[in-house]
């Protein structure tokens, strides 16, 4: 059965994301889809955004159970459920409880291989954009993280977390004072329709 899928690409700088209308009726039919195999990891660029736009969510994250806290990242670990896992932000009724801009980058950029949008010629500018964005963000995260580590700051030290985040914001503002050119190479948002043969349950590739 062929299905026309609507993909909307959003250029929102470091909070860019891809919206897929198929997620609402995920062919996996397990109420979890790709989120059933992932544990979100938040890095310095996510912390900077949350500190500025929703600090209470950052506090909420650090009070969740089953975290892996490293020097400058936190993983919110999922738990086994049936044949897969349950992300702590995922609800059976309404999917991800976080609005797009509050999710970490894999959750904002991931589109299942069943859709395989990257092979479409017309979508190459967006492929370039998301590739460059991932590289840029990885570098930023590691530059900011290493500078924090160099100052003797680590997320593992609970008592110093407020100071850690103060310093992180200062570094983030400095490192992003000038944004790279590729941010201006795609529009703010663009919608595309592509048709794919659907398969169901575990036949649908993730
Ligand atoms: S944070 Fe949201 S998008 Fe990411 S894996 Fe969890 S439920 Fe899915």
Cα distance between residue 40 and residue 35, in whole Å: 9
**Residue by residue, what is the 3-state secondary structure of 56-123?**
HHHHHHHCCCCEEECCCCEEECCEEECCEEECCCEECCCEECCCHHHCCHHHHHCCCCCCCHHHCHHH
- Model confidence pLDDT, tens digit, residues 4-20: 999 999 999 999 999 99
- The pLDDT assigned to 188 comes to 98
The closest residue, in CA terms, to atom 4 on ligand 1 is 107
Q: Is 191 helix (H, G, I), strand (E, B) or coil?
A: strand
Q: Is 197 helix (H, G, I), strand (E, B) or coil?
A: strand
Choosing from 50, 89, 99, 112 the residue with most ligand 1 atoms within 8 A of its CB, the one to mutate for a pocket test is 89
Q: Which of 69-73, 86-90, 91-95 has the lowest average pLDDT? A: 91-95
How far from the centroid of its chain's Cα atoms is residue 68's Cα?
17
93 has a pLDDT exceeding 90 = no
Q: What is the mean pLDDT of residues 120-141?
A: 98
* Exposed e or buried b per residue across 10-27, where buried means at least 16 C-beta atoms within 10 angstroms of its C-beta: bbeebbbbbebebeeebb
- Model confidence pLDDT, tens digit, residues 22-65: 999 999 999 999 999 999 999 999 999 999 999 999 999 999 99
Residue matched to tokens 């891809």: 18
Instruction: Establish whether residue 35 lines the binding site of ligand 1, counting it when its CB lies within 6 angstroms of any ligand atom.
Output: yes
Could you tell me the pTM of the whole model? 0.96
Cα distance between residue 164 and residue 161, in whole Å: 5
A 10 A CB-CB count for 49 gives 20
Measure CA of the first residue to CA of the last residue in the chain; give whole Å.
18
127 has a pLDDT exceeding 90 = yes
Nearest atom (ligand 1) to Cα of 95? 7
φ, ψ at 111 (rounded to 5°): -130, 135
Model confidence band, residue 73 (pLDDT cutoffs 50, 70, 90): very high
Instruction: Establish whether residue 61 lines the binding site of ligand 1, counting it when its CB lies within 6 angstroms of any ligand atom.
Output: no
Give the DSSP H/E element, type plus range, for residue 41. Answer: strand 41-42
121 has a pLDDT exceeding 90 = yes
- The pLDDT assigned to 177 comes to 98
Tokens of residue 33, six digits? 């889809």
Q: What is the mean pLDDT of residues 199-206?
A: 95
Instruction: Establish whether residue 103 lines the binding site of ligand 1, counting it when its CB lies within 6 angstroms of any ligand atom.
Output: yes
Q: Which of 1, 23, 16 is nearest to 127 (CA)?
A: 16
């Amino acid at each position: 059965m062929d299905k026309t899928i609507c993909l909307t690409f959003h250029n929102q700088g470091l909070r860019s994301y891809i919206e897929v209308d198929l997620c609402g009726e995920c062919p996996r039919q397990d109420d979890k889809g790709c989120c059933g195999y992932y544990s979100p990891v938040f890095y310095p660029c996510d912390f900077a955004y949350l500190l500025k736009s929703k600090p209470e969510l950052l506090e909420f994250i650090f009070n969740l159970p089953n975290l892996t806290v490293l020097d400058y990242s936190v993983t919110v670990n999922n738990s086994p459920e049936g044949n897969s896992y349950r992300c702590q932000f995922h609800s059976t009724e309404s999917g991800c409880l976080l609005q797009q801009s509050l999710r970490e980058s894999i959750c904002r950029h991931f589109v299942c291989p069943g859709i395989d949008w990257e092979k479409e010629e017309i979508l190459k500018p967006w492929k370039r954009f998301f590739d460059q964005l991932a590289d840029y963000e990885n570098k930023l995260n590691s530059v900011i993280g290493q500078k924090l580590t160099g100052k003797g700051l680590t997320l593992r030290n609970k008592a110093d977390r407020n100071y850690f985040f103060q310093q992180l914001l200062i570094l983030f503002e400095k490192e992003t004072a000038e944004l790279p050119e590729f941010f201006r190479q795609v529009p703010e948002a663009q919608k595309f329709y592509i048709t794919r043969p659907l398969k169901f349950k575990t036949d649908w590739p993730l």
